Amino acid sequence: MKTDAEIRQQGMQALIQALGLVDAERFLAAFGQGRFDYTEWRRASLQWNDSLDALADAANAYSDRIEADQQTV
């Protein structure tokens, strides 16, 4: 099991890799402004109308693409 510090470090690395340093900071700043309901934000931003199996298939396909991309680097 990872420690909270390890999870935070890996999360920051993932944000920076995906967004770049400046946009990762902007993303985090958005969370620090007042009261933030993560669950409601996820509900509003992740609108998935298919079955759970379809979501799992999409996640697996995404994971496969990421893995293939990492092997070509």
pLDDT in tens, 42-58: 777 777 677 888 878 88
Higher-pLDDT residue of 57 and 39 is 57
Q: What is the domain partition of the chain in residue ranges?
A: 1-36, 38-73
Angle ∠(8,28,63) on CA atoms, nearest 5: 60
Tell me the backbone φ, ψ of residue 70, rounded to 5 degrees: -70, -30
Q: Say which residues have a Cβ less than 8 Å from residue 30's Cβ, sequence separation at least 6.
A: 36
Cβ distance 65 to 57 under 8 Å?
no
- Output b/e per residue, 50-66; b: 16+ Cβ within 10 A: eeeeeeeeeeeeeeeee
Q: What is the pLDDT of residue 34?
A: 66
Q: What is the pLDDT of residue 72?
A: 72
